[in-house]
């Protein structure tokens, strides 16, 4: 079993930056592709970005390319989502997730999920 706990969310002004963290336990994080998803009010959950087991490959949704960066530190069993140039449309609950697959960009491909952390971007 893998447990994922997100942290770092909160209130930030438009144009600002925020870094989210996802701490893992139960299994070593290097076994899993890790992803970030988000769900805005009234919207369905959407893919944000993912990172391969070793951290040598990443993928992002078009809506966040150039602004968000996903990274991982397997020695710390932690993944991160650095968010820059935040917009009010980025307001959402952000979830981290883990997959057995070498590449994953869909929620159905993720086996384990965190409970989420709320990011609110004010205008």
Residue 103: DSSP 8-state: S
Q: Is 79 exposed, middle or buried (0-12, 13-18, 19+ CB in 10 A)?
A: buried
Q: Describe the strand order of the beta sheet including 18-25 as a list of residue ranges.
A: 3-7, 18-25, 78-83, 68-73
Average pLDDT over residues 103-116: 96
**What are the tens digits of pLDDT across the range 26-79?**
777 888 999 999 999 999 999 999 999 999 999 999 999 999 999 999 899 999
């Amino acid at each position: 079993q893998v447990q994922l706990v997100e942290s770092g969310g909160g209130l930030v002004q438009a144009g600002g930056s925020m870094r989210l963290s996802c701490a893992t336990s139960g299994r070593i994080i290097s076994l899993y592709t890790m992803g970030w998803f988000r769900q805005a009010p009234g919207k369905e959950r959407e893919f944000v970005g993912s990172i391969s087991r070793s951290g040598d490959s990443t993928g992002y949704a078009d809506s966040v390319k150039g602004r968000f960066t996903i990274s991982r530190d397997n020695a710390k069993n932690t993944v991160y989502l650095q968010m820059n140039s935040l917009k009010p449309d980025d307001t959402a609950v952000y979830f981290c997730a883990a997959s057995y697959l070498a590449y994953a960009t869909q929620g159905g491909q993720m086996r384990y999920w965190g409970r989420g952390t709320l990011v609110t971007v004010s205008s």
